[in-house]
């Protein structure tokens, strides 16, 4: 099938990340995808395999790789004008209610219209199960008479599931100690045999100073060096400000500023680390698949509803954990998100008896047993069509 996927970049990289993973996942299964984006600049490092060139019929620059074509949103009118025979794909996905251009929606009017999917944001809240797959008729405008369905990612079998490539478990399993060492060496990282590795991907509000203080205290107390892998942007900037005041910490706490990472490299960073601190939707899901202890910084919303979303996810992710572990980890998550005081010490994430590590792996296995989002989406549009 041919899928038209529309993505508006609100801020940061989460919208791009989700839509690019969706496109790649569909292409890996033999589908064709046109990905319409209002800002494709992040794909230069997120998807370096894309080849940009002028389309022979449309006269605009498009990015191509097997199964995927990236088209700039602003070029939509030009494409439709220059290609009178242009037809929308069998499936149209608008990510996060971004509303495709009117001219494109008009092309969806035909005897058998495309399946129109509104792919919603990820949430663990109860309304997701009630709202998943609901239909909404379009009453006015160029789409009048068409129907769209709301497709909700989620964490239970009654939702749309999570993005997960079919080959992800095998790729993760093949990432052994030798592969990890080779990946770290690419970035000049050569940790001591007993060292701990921590990744940091955060928003500017994250209490990075407090995190690094705690990691330093842990390194000194256990005599185990800690290497912190800093993603490009806020994490690197905040950590560098801390280093200027803590030069004496460097023998035990090593900070490594990484470049912008492709999706494949971002996954391998998570797989390499004993603890991952991530932000937003896409990286949070990848941290779940890494099956390691992690801390999620949720995207802050002005009306404060992010607090409820965070609590809802913790309730599901930690549902089977021992009470004390759940309380310790939840307290640190709340503090990291500025919703409560940050505890003075991280829960144990690295010792041989670390419950956080064991129960993170168990929660990961529970999610892995559920059907992934793309499989469910394909089944839904095939059956509903």
Query: Among all residues, which ones are annotated catalytic?
Result: 15, 281
User: Using CA atoms, how far apart are residues 240 and 210, in angstroms rounded to an integer?
Assistant: 14
Strand intervals (E) in 171-321: 196-200, 226-230, 253-257, 275-279, 294-297
CA 114 to CA 148: how far, in whole Å? 10
Closest CA to 122 of 51, 41, 256, 21: 21
Measured CA to CA, the distance from residue 28 to residue 283 in angstroms comes to: 20
**Rama region for 137: left / alpha / beta (φ>0; ψ in -120 to 50; rest):** beta
| Coil vs helix vs strand at 297 | strand
* Nearby residues of 59 by Cβ (< 8 Å), 6 or more positions away: 78, 82
**Nearest-angstrom CA–CA distance, 235 and 129:** 35
Q: Are 285 and 163 in contact (CB under 8 A)?
A: yes
Is residue 155 within 8 A of residue 317, CB to CB? The reply is yes
213 CB neighbour count, 10 Å cutoff: 16
- Would you say 255 and 228 are in contact if contact means Cβ atoms under 8 Å apart? yes
Question: Cα–Cα distance between 87 and 109 in angstroms, integer?
Answer: 10
Contact call for residues 230 and 258 (beta carbons, < 8 A): yes
- Name the nearest CA neighbour of 359 among 376, 345, 347, 370: 347
What distance in Å separates the CA atoms of residue 49 and residue 278, rounded to the nearest whole number?
Answer: 25
> Which residues pair with residue 5 across a beta bridge?
35, 93
Instruction: Return the structure tokens found at 385.
Output: 């069509």
């Amino acid at each position: 099938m041919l899928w038209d996927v529309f993505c508006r970049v609100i801020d940061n990289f989460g919208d791009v990340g989700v839509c690019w993973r969706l496109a790649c996942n569909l292409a890996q299964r033999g589908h064709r995808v046109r990905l319409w984006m209002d800002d494709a600049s992040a794909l230069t490092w997120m998807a370096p395999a894309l080849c940009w060139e002028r389309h022979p019929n449309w006269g605009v620059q498009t990015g191509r790789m097997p199964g995927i074509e990236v088209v700039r949103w602003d070029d939509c009118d030009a494409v439709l004008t220059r290609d009178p025979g242009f037809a929308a794909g069998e499936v149209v996905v608008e990510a996060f209610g971004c509303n495709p251009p009117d001219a494109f929606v008009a092309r969806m009017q035909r005897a058998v219209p495309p399946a129109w999917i509104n792919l919603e944001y990820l949430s663990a809240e109860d309304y997701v199960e009630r709202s998943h797959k609901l239909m909404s008729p379009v009453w006015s405008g160029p789409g009048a008479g068409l129907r769209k369905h709301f497709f909700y990612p989620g964490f239970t079998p009654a939702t749309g599931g999570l993005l997960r490539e079919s080959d992800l478990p095998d790729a993760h399993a093949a990432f052994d100690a030798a592969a990890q060492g080779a990946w770290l060496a690419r970035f000049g990282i050569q940790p001591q045999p007993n060292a701990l590795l921590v990744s940091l991907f955060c928003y500017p509000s994250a209490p990075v100073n407090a995190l690094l203080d705690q990691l330093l205290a842990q390194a000194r107390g256990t005599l185990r060096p800690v290497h912190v892998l800093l993603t490009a942007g806020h994490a690197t900037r905040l950590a560098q400000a801390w280093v200027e005041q803590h030069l004496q910490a460097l023998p035990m706490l090593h900070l490594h500023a990484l470049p912008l990472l492709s999706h494949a490299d971002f996954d391998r960073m998570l797989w390499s680390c004993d603890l991952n601190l991530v932000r937003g939707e896409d990286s949070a899901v990848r941290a779940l698949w890494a099956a390691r202890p992690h801390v999620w910084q949720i995207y802050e919303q002005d009306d404060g509803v992010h607090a409820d979303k965070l609590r809802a996810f913790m309730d599901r992710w930690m549902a089977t954990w021992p009470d004390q572990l759940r309380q310790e980890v939840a307290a640190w998550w709340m503090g990291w998100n500025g919703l409560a005081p940050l505890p003075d010490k991280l829960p144990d994430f690295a010792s041989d008896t670390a419950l956080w590590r064991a129960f993170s792996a168990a929660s990961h296995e529970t999610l892995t047993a559920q059907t992934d989002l793309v499989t469910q989406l394909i089944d839904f549009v095939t059956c509903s069509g």
